[in-house]
């Protein structure tokens, strides 16, 4: 028996969100807003972005099109306006947006994964629903790496996991 794209996307998305929340719990309060330069995002800035991106893709998958920049994206604007850049606010935002995203992904049938949706407000063109289902997973994993970089920059070695290969 094979596993469907939506099933694996929902599983990986939930796992990536859980990993970010585990990481957030390990970071001291005084490091949540630290950044090595003005061009970097803080830990909380990155987690807030992940919550917004998750919510946006939940709407996109449900509506079969990208809402950013659209006057029809009131749901996303409401989510953004309610999202505070605090440990609790980011935790709540990641949890709520991931729940909405996983529900949206689970609403995609395997037969619909090859449907193309418009993402012109993100970049010109279309992508498949399969790609849309996996976008937030990729985005959260990317930001986990960026947060690990911030931790390494301020001297926290706790972010290293047992599965890293040692040379």
Residues 6+ apart with CB under 8 A from 139: 50, 53
Burial of 60 (0-12, 13-18, 19+ CB in 10 A): buried
Are the beta carbons of 150 and 43 closer than 8 angstroms?
yes
Local mean pLDDT, 10-residue blocks, the chain (167 residues): 93 97 94 92 96 93 75 79 94 98 97 91 86 96 94 75 49
CA–CA separation, 126 and 146 (whole Å): 28
Q: Catalogue all structural domains in the chain, each as residue range(s) with its CATH number.
A: 5-31+42-153 (1.20.120.450)
pLDDT at 163: 46
Residue 25: both structure tokens together = 């719990």
């Amino acid at each position: 028996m094979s596993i469907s794209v939506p099933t694996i996307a929902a599983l990986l998305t939930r796992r990536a969100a859980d990993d970010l929340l585990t990481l957030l719990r390990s970071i001291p309060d005084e490091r949540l807003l630290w950044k090595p330069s003005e061009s970097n995002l803080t830990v909380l800035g990155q987690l807030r972005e992940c919550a917004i991106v998750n919510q946006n893709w939940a709407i996109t998958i449900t509506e079969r099109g990208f809402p950013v920049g659209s006057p029809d994206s009131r749901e996303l604007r409401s989510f953004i306006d309610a999202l505070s850049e605090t440990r609790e606010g980011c935790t709540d935002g990641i949890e709520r947006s991931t729940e909405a995203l996983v529900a949206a992904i689970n609403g995609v049938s395997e037969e619909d994964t090859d449907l193309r949706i418009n993402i012109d407000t993100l970049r010109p063109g279309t992508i498949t629903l399969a790609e849309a289902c996996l976008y937030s997973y990729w985005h959260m994993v990317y930001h986990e790496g960026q947060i690990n970089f911030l931790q390494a920059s301020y001297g926290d070695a706790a972010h290293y996991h047992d599965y890293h290969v040692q040379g």
